[in-house]
């Protein structure tokens, strides 16, 4: 399944990934802190997301509780892949260079990136190494 949430849907998904199962009121309260959002608009958007398969709903209580029906990692992966394909002409290195050029990573983030690159090089080296007899 190709995941194509809108910006507003991503906001709701991010809240659910952070908070876990939540009611429409819970989601609306968080959204209201950063933008003007009507409760019925939040409710309608979450109903649309339910129809699209982005959310699951537990209707066993008076207040329906929603959870994300897609993983954060899978969603991020598909969105990044689309961005690489559509914005950076298939070049992951251009995406990384642009991101690092526009954002100053912390020392911890740089160390994490270096560690990841080292692991990737190690994996590639193992693939390229001749097999012993």
pLDDT 10s digits, 8-48: 999 999 999 999 999 999 999 999 999 888 999 999 999 99
Give residue 16's pLDDT: 98
pLDDT at 37: 84
User: What's the pLDDT score for residue 8?
Assistant: 94
Architecture per CATH, domain 7-68, reads as Orthogonal Bundle (1.10)
The structure's pTM equals 0.76
Cα 15 to the chain's mean position, in Å? 11
């Amino acid at each position: 399944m190709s995941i194509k949430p809108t910006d507003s849907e991503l906001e709701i998904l991010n809240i659910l990934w952070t908070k876990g199962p939540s009611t429409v009121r819970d989601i609306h309260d968080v959204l209201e802190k950063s933008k003007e959002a009507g409760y019925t608009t939040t409710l309608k958007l979450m109903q649309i997301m339910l129809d699209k398969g982005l959310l699951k709903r537990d209707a066993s209580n008076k207040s329906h509780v929603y959870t994300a029906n897609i993983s954060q990692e899978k969603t991020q992966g598909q969105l990044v892949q689309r961005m690489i394909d559509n914005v950076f002409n298939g070049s992951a290195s251009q995406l990384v260079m642009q991101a690092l050029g526009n954002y100053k990573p912390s020392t911890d983030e740089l160390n994490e990136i270096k560690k990841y690159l080292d692991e990737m090089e190690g994996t590639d080296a193992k693939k390229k190494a001749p097999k012993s007899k």
